[in-house]
Structure 1
Amino acid sequence: MRIRTVSARAGLLAATAALGVGSLLAPAAAAATPPSTIAKGDTGHGVWCVQHAVNLYYESTYGKKSGPLAEDAVFGTSTADWVAWYQGKHGLHADSVVGKSTGFWVVMEDGYYSNYCKAYVPHGSHP
């Protein structure tokens, strides 16, 4: 009986060690890739980032305590209108679609959050 218990424990220890080594050698999970665009009808973190960036820009430009958008993570008509405004203020084509050029400015507004939005917003180099 004692030999079986020792053998069982040894087998369990070997299996645990093998799992541990396997997890160390397994490839790391891929980082989140932002979408190519964010536009009307979209929802989620990326939309929240866009709404937050528009609000921050509005607040800093006009010295206001709050921005014009609800940060509800839903890209509706109001968000589309304010994204076009934001794009115009940055000298971009005002089409209400957040691509890499608009996303560049959204990510630039995100310094306070340690670039949280970089994983959720399309972005590229300075347009």
Structure 2
Amino acid sequence: MKNFLKINSKNGRRKSNILNFMDKKREYEKFEELLEKNPCYDKDGISPKNFRSKTLDLHGYKRHEALEKVLIILKSARKENLKELKIICGKGKHSESEPVLFESVRNLLKNNKIYYKNFNFDKNNNIFVYF
């Protein structure tokens, strides 16, 4: 860390680089914590190093929590060599009117096409994303 400070202080960017570094570190720690609390699992039982397919169960999540989780997994899919992601949204039995998560996740996918090739869904409000 000392070398990092010395190198960047010569350019006069010491403070901004440290803040940027700390922000990235906090973001990474938040991501790790989220995955630790809510692990994804491989439906085929393949070892974690060779993940090809994941299932993400969003039952019990609030809309913003579910969308954040889906976006994190979409962004990390390429690194993990993921081929398919099954997102279980549920039928919305605990919602006051109609299912909330299914439409929200579907809209998120429509607006973030750069992360995947295609997606479809079934009558049980499961969404299948293909990379």
After TM superposition, the score normalised by the length of structure 1 is: 0.25
When Rg is computed on C-alpha atoms for both structures, the one with the higher figure is: 1
- Structure having the higher strand fraction is 2
Higher relative contact order (CA 8 A, sep 6+): 1
- Structure having the higher helix fraction is 1
